[in-house]
Amino acid sequence: MLWIFPIFLLLQADVSGEEILLINSNAKVEKYRIVQEEFTKNFAMPVRQIDLDDDHISGKKLREDPAALFYCIGAKAYSLCRPNIGDRPLVFSSIINWQRFSPSSEAYGVSNELNARMPIYMFRSVFPDVKKIAVLYSREYTLQWFTDTVAQAKELEIDLRGKAVSGKRSILPALAQMLPEVQALWLIPDPRVMPEKKYLYDILEKCHEKQIPVFTYHSAFVRLGAVMSVAVDNPTIGRQAAGIAQELLAGKPPADRVQFPAGSEITLDLKKAGEYGLKYNRDALGLVNNIIR
């Protein structure tokens, strides 16, 4: 019977090798914390967790770590992990503009931006009379996105009109030029469009002066004066990442290396909509997560 013992030890070693190491860039950041919680809740195997805000882990330690898969939340975790784990699989999420990292073939993840069709569908459902929407974008970051999105918007009978901004000085003149021709502004996450907070406030103020509603990608902007936001649902990102990790460990990698977030969170300021005389579709209120009156 003694021969069973070494086999048992080997099996134990295999099991520990199947562990996941979750590296969070900063678990005090609410969106990162929520993603981490949902991931661990939805993942059947043991997950060791490191918070880079509290713990330090060197590249050497990561190279020696026996984890079979690494899950990185945020850009800091990804940048630390990627060069140190060899060809072991990595899952990432919650990274703004993930393309700038040119992920390797072992990296899978969930992007931080919704598929553009999702917000357009929501705008169209809640405000069916709004047909002409302006977008400020930059050639550097969002030109391709804008070109693709115009085509998608057209399929939903939305006329999306854009103006490229090149620097801080061009933002407000571009906006002033666009506002007379549209019924709403869609504010997108482009660092050239909002290089500083001041520009966000200026854009919101100019739109308010002209009674033009602002649609955006973050619920915080609704508190500042936007009428509606269609944001990513962070718990869903955690669940998606857990699913990708399970598929990778089972040897069945997903077809798409990077997925769009599958869940949306909608905030709507009905008071503001009323101020602008915007008619909203009551039947679409079931889509809205947070209503402000």
Partner 1 sequence: MNHYKEKSVRLCRFMLSAVFFCLLLSAWPEKAQAQEKIMIYFYSSETNINNFKSLKMEFDTWLSRFGPYEFQPFSDRQIFETHLRGKKDCLVLLSSWHFSKIAKEYSLSPLLSGIRNGKKYQKRILVAAAAASGADILQKGPVASASNPDYTRSVLRELFGEEITGDSVRILTVPKDIDALMSVGFEMSKSALITESTLEKLKETDPVLSRKMKTLKAGKDSLLLILAVPESFSEKSGKILEIIQNMSGQPEGADIVRMLDLDGWEPVGASERSKLEG
Residues in touch with partner 1 (CB under 8 A): 115, 117-118, 121, 124-125, 155-156, 233, 236, 239-240, 243, 246, 254-256, 259-260, 262-265, 282-291, 293
Query: What is the closest distance, in whole angstroms, from the C-beta atom of residue 274 to partner 1 in the complex?
Result: 12
Query: What is the closest distance, in whole angstroms, from the C-beta atom of residue 222 to partner 1 in the complex?
Result: 12
**Residue written as tokens 């195997």?**
45
225 touches 272 (CB < 8 A): yes
Query: What is the closest distance, in whole angstroms, from the C-beta atom of residue 238 to partner 1 in the complex?
Result: 11
- From residue 280, alpha-carbon distances to 126, 134, 219, 228, 285 in Å are 6, 19, 18, 11, 9
**Residue written as tokens 């357009």?**
120
Burial class (CB in 10 A: 0-12, 13-18, 19+), 90: buried
Q: Which two tokens stand for residue 156?
A: 């939903």
| 243 vs 241: CA distance, rounded Å | 5
| 146 vs 138: CA distance, rounded Å | 9
Query: What is the closest distance, in whole angstroms, from the C-beta atom of residue 76 to partner 1 in the complex?
Result: 25
| 80 vs 59: CA distance, rounded Å | 7
Whose Cβ is closer to partner 1: residue 84's or residue 246's? 246
Whose Cβ is closer to partner 1: residue 30's or residue 256's? 256
**Residue written as tokens 């901004």?**
165
Whose Cβ is closer to partner 1: residue 50's or residue 241's? 241
Phi and psi of 27, rounded to 5°?
-70, -5
- Helix (H) / strand (E) element for 38: namely helix 30-41
Whose Cβ is closer to partner 1: residue 86's or residue 286's? 286
Query: What is the closest distance, in whole angstroms, from the C-beta atom of residue 100 to partner 1 in the complex?
Result: 22
Query: What is the closest distance, in whole angstroms, from the C-beta atom of residue 42 to partner 1 in the complex?
Result: 8
Whose Cβ is closer to partner 1: residue 58's or residue 144's? 144
Whose Cβ is closer to partner 1: residue 46's or residue 254's? 254
Grouping H, G, I as helix, E, B as strand and the rest as coil, residue 134 is strand
**Residue written as tokens 């947070």?**
290
| 68 vs 104: CA distance, rounded Å | 17
Query: What is the closest distance, in whole angstroms, from the C-beta atom of residue 121 to partner 1 in the complex?
Result: 6
Whose Cβ is closer to partner 1: residue 224's or residue 285's? 285
Query: What is the closest distance, in whole angstroms, from the C-beta atom of residue 125 to partner 1 in the complex?
Result: 6
Whose Cβ is closer to partner 1: residue 34's or residue 81's? 34
63 touches 88 (CB < 8 A): no
27 touches 33 (CB < 8 A): yes
